[in-house]
Structure 1
Amino acid sequence: MTDIRLLPADEMRHVRCTHNLTIFETPHTAAVIMAWTWCISSKPSAPPAAVQAAQVRVLADAYGLDATSRYRLIDAALDRRARNARWWYSHLAGPFPRIAADQTVPGRIRWSEQEHAYTSASRKTFDTALG
């Protein structure tokens, strides 16, 4: 297993990382990306929402997010999941060559929509943990 060290917020402001074609330079954006990609999941094998929410709180604490950024964290994760689904829908209408086979795209859309629905349904749990 790889050890992951979270950078302190003051160091994070000076780091440029790329993830999923997104460039981020702020602690808030880093926390959002990590939350929606690594902490929040509707998979049956994933821990319960309360455990996931505690993981998101650890990220928010590690990056020193203020109350406003904490409040916006789940909104941003929901927005990202919705944008992901819209991007895959538009991908089907786009020109060739495509980055994914047409038969795989509906599954990616369903996954994005499922994750959005799960995050939305678990919103109160995440907000309470981040409060």
Structure 2
Amino acid sequence: MSPMDTYEISDREDSDTDDSDSDSENEKTKKKIPTWALRANLYPALEKQYNGHIGSRKVDPDEIFPEVQSCDLEAIFGTKKAKAYRSRASSGNWAQDKVTVAEKLVYKREMGFATDTEVTEI
């Protein structure tokens, strides 16, 4: 994306004062809104996404965003310090709350991402 296709996001801390309301209103009018975000372009694009009219079928989010099996905290927050992570009791075991294969298939069928014949093939 070019810089003209993006929208400048202001820090919230800049608008915490009481007298900043009029300033922030003036700032809003000065910001350039990218063409993709204009109502005439945005609404049809959102409607197209919502109704799933890409080709002739709805787009299954699982095709775009893969299922995450685990979360490596050290990869996110860096290596652990001298103090080890506290061992978790039952609150750290979410296996019982896991979405079942049957629930995934029902979801795909109800959302129109899979037909009954496609579900039996899975």
Q: Does TM, normalized by the shorter one, top 0.5? A: no
Q: Structure 1 or 2: larger strand share?
A: 1
Instruction: Answer with 1 or 2: which has the greater Rg.
Output: 2
Q: Structure 1 or 2: larger helix share?
A: 1
The structure whose RCO (Cα within 8 Å, separation 6+) is larger is 1
